[in-house]
Homo-oligomer: A and B are copies of this chain.
Amino acid sequence: MGRPRKFDEREVLATARRVFNETGFHGTSVDDLSRATGLSKGSLYGAFGDKDALFQRIFDDYCTSAGQDAAARVEGPDDEALNRLHAWLRVPDGHRGSLGCLLAKATAELAWENEAIAARSRTTYEILLDSCRRLVEQAQRAGHVDPAADAEALGGLVVTTHRGIEALAKAGVDPATLNRIADAAIDSIALRVRV
């Protein structure tokens, strides 16, 4: 009972995430969030606590979801593993100004001063590294990658390449260039095939 909520919590969180992702934590005021979500400041505080709690919540959700996505990418036949890695690296066609990854943005902005953010970032990256290692192992089993190669390092190379491509995309580097880099990364990994 009680007065019902006028807003959809998931919608509000999605909007707040978008704003945080665009202007960062310190660059976003509670007024900005209030305006973007349509909720008054009082409602925001009532529903989510203070600004830090709201951000932490959004960041946690994002990391969880990123980890799940990574785990989901591992599922599938071995002989398509390389394609799945490739698809992950490619910049989407209609790419303008970059949606960007909250994990990257929050880590860059806050890891130094916020231990909770740093810890969550680290474990999330470790999940990504692990998923990519598994994908490389699949590609090895499929004969697409040298079975003697260090799967963990090669998987890591995919993760760093992904991060790097996004960083350059944020600076406005030509998407076509970035996609050729993605191709080169996969080619380099696949060239370790024993012919």
Q: Does A16 contact B (CB under 8 A)?
A: no
Query: A85: shortest Cβ distance to chain B, in Å?
Result: 13
Within the assembled complex, what's the spacing in Å between the Cα atoms of A172 and B108? 11
Residues of A13-54 contacting chain B, CB below 8 A: 22-27
A159 to B121, CA, bound (A): 22
A69 at the interface (CB under 8 A from B): no
- By beta carbon, the residue of chain B nearest A112 is B22
Interface of A is mostly: helix
Of B153, B159, B185, B189, the residue contacting A180 (CB under 8 A) is B153
Q: B109 touching A24 by the CB < 8 A rule?
A: yes
A interface residues, Cβ below 8 angstroms from B: 22-27, 97, 100, 104-105, 107-109, 111-113, 118-119, 121-122, 124-126, 129, 149-150, 152-154, 156-157, 159-165, 167-168, 170-173, 177-178, 180-181, 183-185, 188-189, 191-192
